[in-house]
Amino acid sequence: MKASKITVVLRSILGLIFVAGPLASALHLIPDPAMPPGGAAFTAALAKTDYMLPLLWSTEIAAGVLLLSGLSTPFALVILAPVIVNIVAFHVFLVPSGMPPAILVSALEVSLAWRYRGAFRPLFKTARGQQVSTAHEVRVGAA
């Protein structure tokens, strides 16, 4: 498979996850999973705000649509980054049984971010427009 085809497949899988998952949750198409007390309390607190879950779902769906369409994939990845960090933290600290899907989503995000790394290069420039040095740009033995 060519690199571009792999990118399309990875982008499509991540996009489907972030369109289908929130839609299924928002429309109650799947039963709520059983969770330990901490995870259930956290989810209930988000639901009780009356805005957080709809905001989260709409953000995930919008990013998923961007990924599926191939429009502005780097922007979709930036939108999803904090969401994915919270998904992983939720499973690390509250619902460890959900780690496999969290790892999958993280791996897809990181893989796509690497494939689109050129789009993120301007984020690592200083105010004067100089590129921030990376670890492999530092000379060994330089004082």
The pLDDT of residue 41 is 97
> Do the domain assignments include residue 68?
yes
Looking at the structure of the chain, the number of domains it has is: 1
Residue 138 has phi, psi (to 5 degrees) of: -75, 130
10-residue mean pLDDT series, the chain (143 residues): 86 98 94 93 96 97 97 97 98 97 98 96 80 56 43
Spatial contact of 77 and 112, defined as CB atoms under 8 Å apart: yes
Name which of 71, 109, 80, 105 is nearest 91 in CA terms. Answer: 105
Alpha-helical segments (H) within 2-142: 3-26, 37-48, 52-69, 73-93, 99-115, 117-120
Does the residue 108 lie in any domain? yes
Domain that holds residue 133: 3-137
Residue 27 domain-assigned (yes or no): yes
Could you tell me if residue 143 is inside a domain? no
| Residue 37 covered by a domain | yes
The answer to whether 2 and 64 have CB atoms below 8 angstroms apart is no
Let me know if residue 142 belongs to a domain: no
